[in-house]
Every structure is written in C-alpha cells, then in structure tokens.
Chain A
Amino acid sequence: MMEFFSALWDHPFLQHALIGGLLASIGCGIIGSYVVVKRIGFLAGGISHSVLGGMGVAFFFGLSPLGGALTAAVASALLIGWVRLTWREQEDTLIGALWAVGMAIGILFISKTPGYSVSLMSYLFGNILMVNLADIWMMAGIDLIILLTVSLCYQQFLAVSFDEEFARLRGVPVTFFYLLLLCMVAVTVVLLIQVVGLILVIALLTLPAAIAAHHVRSLGKMMLLATLLGALFTVLGLIISYAPDLPAGATIILVAGVSYLISLLFSTARKRRELRQQLVKAVQ
C-alpha cells in the first residue's frame, strides 16, 4: 500500500487515475441508484454494450472514440426507451437484439480499421491508468450535467422511478422524463467506461447502489452512500492492483462484487433477526 502512495506522489498518471475514479463515483452513485430502484439494469446493459458500435465507427473514421461512445450511448438510450414504451411485451428480446447488433457493428468497423490497437481494448476492459487531463475535464463536465439535471428534476425522476402510472395521472410528462433518465444512464456509462470498460460498466453502475439499498431507506441517502462506496471501490481497486500489476478495472469490479456479497449476507441476516424479534413480540 505504501508503494502505491509513494508512486501516487511521484506519478501524474496515478493522480489522474485517482481523480478519474472519484469523478466516476459521483455519476455511478447518483444514476446507479435510479438504475437499481427502477430495476433497469438490463436496459443499462443494452446501452453500455451497444456503445461499442459508436466507438467502432469513430475509430474507423479517425474520430474521438469517446465522442462516438457518447453519441452511440444517447442514441441507443433513446432507441431502447422507445422500444420499451412501444413494444413492452417484446422488450427483452428487442433490447437483447440492440445489445448484440451494437456490438456487432463495432466489431465490423474495428476489424476494418487499420492498426486496431490496444487503446480500443482499454475501452472494452477499462484502463483507468490511461485517464489524462482532458478526460478528467470531460468527466467533471459529465458529473456537472448529471448533478444539475438530477437537482432540477429530482421530484419528477422520483415520481417516474416510483410509479409511472400515478406520475402520468398527475400531469408529469412521463415519457420525456423516462427518456431523459435513460440519457443520463447513457452519459454515466461513458463516464464509467474510462474506469472499468464497457464490458464491466454495468457492475460499477449497479453494485454500489445495490449495497447502499441494503442499508439506507431514502433515495437521496442511497445516492450519497453509493457515491462514497463507488469512490472506496475505485481507490481500493487501484491500490490492490498497483503492486502486482493487475488490470485495475477488473480489480475494482471484484472488490465491488465481494463487498456486495458480504453486504447481502449481512442484510439478510439482519432481516431474519428483525423478523424473529417481531414474531417473539407478537407471541408475547
């Protein structure tokens, strides 16, 4: 651990990685909480995997892969949202198809791009150590957009996440806010791709929020705790992976996964204990 901290002092790339991880935690905590309570993990998975299509096209034409990712993520969020609102009965089949088609487009374009390289692999599996100053500014910008949007539309997002039918009856433009929420998921996916890559992004989007849901009982607190947990997992993942030279993204996800299992066991045991106490009280 000391080796990591002395390297952190000496190497700007590690400082960038740490700042990038902390910035990514903000998006993952806030939007991840919506993904968990609204149970749209599958939709978020579809969005994150279809991002490869945009990246592949951007690579092929020599454009910024992150620009391609952002465009593809938002387009796929709108398309998936429309599919879900229009063909609810076949929602999972159509989202599964978009998920695979997005990836297939990406693979085709990448295969025809001369000099297909390591940098694309870093987007697939993540390489937080490659985060540079420009990426940090972009991540901070995305966080700002997320924070502003969620602050302004908190009640509407809460209503749409909780009970769409009732929100519609109260005159909330449910379709608009639902699609806006999916667009927020899309930009968060792009934010997190820098850290863990698009293959693993869904885990970082859902695990900190799912752990937070075990321990707090309000959406606001859930967002705060998920952000702190996301920060803890990225920092711990960086520290653990540094000395043995392990892939940081995969290590971060493993830390999050193990923490989720421990939290699940702890919260299940607590619920059983509470239930037993209630039964004892009822009998008395």
Chain B
Amino acid sequence: MNPSPVVSLQDVSFSYGGPCVLDNVSLEVGEHEFIGIVGPNAGGKSTLLKLMLGLLEPLRGKVRVLGESPERSRTQIGYVPQYPQFSRDFPITVEQTVMMGRLGMSGLFGNYRRRDREVARQAMVETEVADLAARQLCTLSGGQLQRVLMARALACEPRILMLDEPTANIDMRIETEIFDLLKRFNRHMTIIVVSHDVGFISGYVSRVACLNRTLICHHTAAIDGDAIRALYDADVRMVEHRH
C-alpha cells in the first residue's frame, strides 16, 4: 500500500451499457511512480484512464486522484490521448495548440498572460518542438504531432502525466525517443502510460499493471511468460530484446 497515493481506485467496475469492461479493479499509484498499463485490445486500458480523468463515471467503486474526485483534480493532470479528438486540418498552429494547456490557469475570459506563454515555450523546448511553433498541425508528421500533444500536456504543469498509447502508429526510433523523454519527465511527475507493448515499456516503467477486464500488478522484473499468457489468454513466445 502506498503511503499517499496520487491515484487510488477501489473496487471499480465499469460498463458502457453492455458487458462489464472493468470488473473490481483496484490500483494505487504513488508519487513519482512510472507505471505502465498493458493488456490486449478492448481490455479496458483507455477506459481505466478516462475514469482516472473523470471523463467517465464508475458503475461501482471509488476513484480518487490527488485525494479528491477526478473532476476536482483533473486540472493537475496532463493528458495525451490515443486518438486526438480534433481534425488535423483545423486552422491552428503548434504554439496555439500548446497554449491550450494553459486554459483554466489563464486570466479572465481565458486570455493568456506572459507566464502562460513562458510555460508553453518551456514545454515546447522540453519536447523539442520549439522550432515548429509557427507550423500548422496539418503539416506535422505523426511523431511531431505526438510531441506537440505532450507539450500541450506539459503546459498544464501537471503533477500526473497520463498517456494513452503515445507511440501507436509511429516508428520504433521515435518510440524510443518519446519514452526516453518520459523517463526524464518522471523525475518531477508521476507518469501513467497505457500501452499494448509490454515488452517495450518494461524497459522504462517501474511497475506494470496488466489489465484484461480485471487487473494484476507486477514489478517489471516479475513479468514472465505465465503472466503474459494469463493476460492475453493465449500462448506467447518471449523474445528478449534491448533498446
């Protein structure tokens, strides 16, 4: 049990109206932890993240983030979605997109102040997209867009960073770069990352939560063929590889 968990789920169940997507899930995430949530497609990973963000209400159980309900604490969370909800041809620059991370902290009527611009600039520098500031979103590659979304999340000055499949649809080299970046951010914030690639993320995270409707937590050293077989309901072949 963590002394003061930043995220706590107790016996959480959820359904979209049909069969149970999450069943009695309990999880505690400690401050500055880097936790990976892995599991098969439709195993409930993104749903679990949305419950932590307060975008969904649990059917049963309790979700607390930073000691409060997710709705009250979500301005202290930075979120990188799996599928951006916006249209890629929206007329907006990288800088304007990152500035949106300052919404809710900006002045009256949402106007940005000098500090907001400084924080957004710093977030773009950290994610190495400062030189793209004036570019349109529609002109970015998949990897560049992912970094911009991370910059937007960092501009929130979050205590917790949640990422849903941040490296889906981008190549292996950029995947490694992004996780190296996350490892650096982990020095001053808690990171919760959803992934389907247990092999890849186990090199970065300190703990893995294996989710397939129900949840089992492992320290990364404890992930073996049996655990993965139980998770994916199928025989697996372990391939050891270095990044």
- A residues at B contact (CB < 8 Å): 37, 39, 152-156, 158-159, 161-172, 213, 216-219, 221-222
Smallest Cβ distance from A267 to chain B, in angstroms? 11
| Cβ < 8 Å to A, chain B residues 147-201 | 152, 156
Q: Does B100 contact A (CB under 8 A)?
A: yes
Query: Residue of A at shortest CB range from B105?
Result: A170
> For B91, what are the chain A residues with a Cβ–Cβ distance below 8 Å?
37, 213, 216-219, 221-222
Contact status B84-A168, CB under 8 Å: no
Mask, B84-95, CB within 8 Å of A = 1, is 111101111100
Smallest Cβ distance from A235 to chain B, in angstroms? 26
25 contacts between A and B (CB under 8 A): A39-B87, A153-B109, A155-B109, A155-B110, A155-B111, A159-B100, A159-B110, A163-B86, A164-B85, A165-B81, A165-B85, A166-B85, A169-B53, A169-B74, A169-B75, A169-B79, A170-B100, A170-B103, A170-B104, A170-B156, A171-B74, A172-B103, A217-B91, A221-B91, A222-B91
Contact status A162-B156, CB under 8 Å: no
Q: Does B136 contact A (CB under 8 A)?
A: yes
Residue B90 contacts which of A162, A171, A216 (CB distance < 8 angstroms)? Answer: A162
Q: Does B77 contact A (CB under 8 A)?
A: yes
Residue A155 contacts which of B74, B90, B103 (CB distance < 8 angstroms)? Answer: B103
Q: Tell me the complex Cα distance, A162–B96, Å.
A: 11
| From A158, A159, A217, residue with most partner B Cβ within 10 Å | A217
Query: Residue of B at shortest CB range from A33?
Result: B91
Smallest Cβ distance from B96 to chain A, in angstroms? 8
If A167-B103, A170-B104, A222-B91 are given as contacts, then 6 extra A-B residue pairs at C-beta distance below 8 Å, sorted by A number, are: A37-B87, A156-B103, A156-B110, A158-B92, A167-B100, A218-B93
Q: Tell me the complex Cα distance, A154–B90, Å.
A: 15
| Given known A-B contacts A163-B84, A219-B92, A170 and B136 have beta carbons under 8 A apart | no
Q: Does B112 contact A (CB under 8 A)?
A: yes
Majority SS at the chain A contact face: helix
Smallest Cβ distance from A48 to chain B, in angstroms? 23
8 tightest A-B contacts by CB?
Answer: A155-B110, A171-B104, A170-B103, A170-B104, A163-B86, A165-B85, A163-B85, A217-B136
Smallest Cβ distance from B182 to chain A, in angstroms? 19
Query: Residue of A at shortest CB range from B139?
Result: A217
| Cβ < 8 Å to A, chain B residues 46-93 | 53, 55, 74-75, 77, 79, 81, 84-87, 89-93
Q: Does B39 contact A (CB under 8 A)?
A: no
Q: Does B101 contact A (CB under 8 A)?
A: yes
Q: Tell me the complex Cα distance, A164–B84, Å.
A: 10
Q: Tell me the complex Cα distance, A161–B101, Å.
A: 15
Q: Does B24 contact A (CB under 8 A)?
A: no
Q: Tell me the complex Cα distance, A219–B90, Å.
A: 8
> For A153, what are the chain B residues with a Cβ–Cβ distance below 8 Å?
109-110
Q: Does B106 contact A (CB under 8 A)?
A: yes
> For A158, what are the chain B residues with a Cβ–Cβ distance below 8 Å?
92, 96, 100
> For A159, what are the chain B residues with a Cβ–Cβ distance below 8 Å?
100, 103, 110
Smallest Cβ distance from B55 to chain A, in angstroms? 7
> For A156, what are the chain B residues with a Cβ–Cβ distance below 8 Å?
103, 109-110
Contact status A162-B103, CB under 8 Å: no
Smallest Cβ distance from A214 to chain B, in angstroms? 10
Q: Tell me the complex Cα distance, A45–B40, Å.
A: 42
| From A162, A167, A213, A219, residue with most partner B Cβ within 10 Å | A162
> For A164, what are the chain B residues with a Cβ–Cβ distance below 8 Å?
85
Smallest Cβ distance from A24 to chain B, in angstroms? 23
Smallest Cβ distance from A165 to chain B, in angstroms? 5
Q: Tell me the complex Cα distance, A217–B53, Å.
A: 32
Smallest Cβ distance from A111 to chain B, in angstroms? 43
> For B106, what are the chain A residues with a Cβ–Cβ distance below 8 Å?
155
> For A170, what are the chain B residues with a Cβ–Cβ distance below 8 Å?
75, 100-101, 103-104, 156
| From B87, B89, B136, B156, residue with most partner A Cβ within 10 Å | B87
Query: Residue of A at shortest CB range from B109?
Result: A152
Smallest Cβ distance from B153 to chain A, in angstroms? 9
